[in-house]
Chain A
């Protein structure tokens, strides 16, 4: 059975299944969400108004048997945070279940005329619109628990917390993990507010009895799957007991700190004296010492990397899952906080309220930079989440993210690009990632073109992080490869082994070709990725973006960043070269 698009109209609470038009037939994941958004959403629309849409798509291989680490869901729409196109990508349970229902995408459009809130229940038999009044004002932990009790087949829950209900720009979209905890997030860009604007508190996806994913060429799929699996399980970073499995993404904390690129105290330094106390190694030690929580946790069924963790409280009870590197930076070093327990408590608040952790931590850092709170004041930082929970005027400002908070409190050191704040790598110390932050259509986003691999980790070659040379081309190559991988449903972390192991790279492409029946080899990855980037850049141009939006913030050009005492030196011309090919 060919994949279908499920279009849900909140205006009249109706839905219909549509054939995937031939122009979109080749796409999955990000490639599909971005093409649909680019065609169906007016780039000049208000992100919270009736003309924006939320598009949800599993990747090409999600839901197929034993495709390794392939549970990623793409969420697309016009971002309230950036004003541009957004694809925000999450792990958790949703991707495989949507795919197994035979769906290429779900398009959520319109707004309820009665201003009511709904839970959408999607099964093989269609969509039920259930009133969500009893869930309003509830955090995602409680929402997930209530919905799993009501729907006993352990469905995927896609939901928004109170921040999304209030349509604030730092609202993420939560996806439950296999233990029904809400910590997997399509966090970036405020798409939770776009979902809230459709009047949808949660989407329940129950794939029981679904048709499953059609595989065009099973032999080719199996061949590709094996090559990819072998690459993942043999590379030191992704194999069982390797760096990611043992320490999670926060394995990077000490390393980026050593490289002088760890954002510290609102991007005023690249080295944090307390980094070791909030590192992945410390999480692993804490798990061992407290006898609770775990490392090597999988965020979705079939993940063979298992980089997630469950952080235990002082009594060994599960506190939150996961504590990621990005989170430990934003709520830790960037706020001058060196206490993992507090970082974990604040992460819990983010996951419950429905906030992107990167933006939330960076927002507190900007607030601290205004003098309203001392850097390092962990009690003060934690109490700010009460302001957000109670939706006080301060809480509403903080829920809007870094840019709005900086404006409200008179801060000039604003680490944003296209309105979205920077993740955990300082562009002045690691120039290639700065080029990605500046030029990706998504706003400052490390996952959009992770040049950290060659610049810091020696994965996929070795490049000097402090040099400007060749960074435009490097960033573009990574951005294109990422756009492809974001379309597969595979976790982006498969990139690390397959950058070093060519058979794995070929296997990824072959597994996609096997599922879709398209003629795709490893040589096509970059060109297909560039097609997606072109569509996204074009949307942003139509939304009014210019070259001026592809620039890092001014303070990075004159404030020297210790310990290297470097400023941002990549020329505007070099930044403009990254996407010069789009308009040529």
Chain B
């Protein structure tokens, strides 16, 4: 199955080929967890503070579904 992955802010260092908010389309087997996808993309666990799937909060152990929009987010706040 295919999922779309986005990374923002300081996590972009690990996928420098992507433009801002540009998705990386990844082919993964059914049942792959969000944490496994993170590992596959070389994003350090300690730098991923929040994960969202389809605009909703998700947990690392959640399994991805075909067509999911997955976002890995580092420490952010402000305003």
Contacts and interface: CB of A to CB of B under 8 A. Distances in A.
Interface string B15-33: 0000111000000000000
A424 B10 contact: no
Contacts of B52: 258-259
Contacts of B6: 258
Interface string B49-79: 1101001110000000000000101111111
A248 B75 contact: no
B76 A446 contact: no
A77 interface: no
Q: Which of B9, B21, B73 is the most central at the interface, judged by chain A CB atoms within 10 Å of its CB? A: B9
B79 A446 contact: yes
A66 interface: no
B57 to A, nearest CB: 6
A404 interface: no
Interface residues of B, number: 23
A396 to B, nearest CB: 29
B47 interface: yes
A579 interface: no
B12 interface: yes
Given A236-B74, A459-B75, A564-B55, A255 B20 contact: no
Nearest to A500: B75
Best-buried of B57, B71, B78 by chain A (most CB within 10 Å): B78
A281 B8 contact: yes
B57 A243 contact: no
A459 B77 contact: yes
A450 interface: yes
A282 B20 contact: yes
Contacts of B75: 235-237, 242-243, 457-459, 496
Given A258-B71, A285-B20, A325 B79 contact: yes
A251 B20 contact: no
Contacts of B78: 243-244, 248-252, 307, 324-325, 493
Given A246-B9, A258-B6, A456-B50, A252 B79 contact: yes
A309 B9 CA distance: 15
A326 B12 CA distance: 23
A453 B77 contact: yes
Contacts of A259: 52, 55
Contacts of A466: 56
B79 to A, nearest CB: 5
Contacts of B9: 243, 246-247, 251, 254-255, 280-281
A456 to B, nearest CB: 7
A275 interface: yes
Contact of A458 (B10, B47, B49): B49
A307 B57 CA distance: 26
A374 to B, nearest CB: 24
Interface centre among B10, B50, B77 (most CB of A within 10 A): B77
A293 interface: no
A457 B74 CA distance: 8
Nearest to A463: B57
Contacts of B76: 237, 243, 251-252, 255, 457
A457 B50 contact: yes
B49 A236 contact: yes
Given A242-B75, A251-B76, A252-B77, 8 more contacts: A243-B74, A243-B75, A243-B78, A246-B10, A252-B76, A258-B71, A259-B52, A564-B55
18 contacts: A235-B75, A241-B10, A242-B75, A250-B78, A252-B79, A254-B9, A254-B21, A255-B76, A276-B19, A307-B78, A325-B78, A446-B79, A452-B77, A452-B79, A457-B75, A457-B77, A458-B50, A466-B56
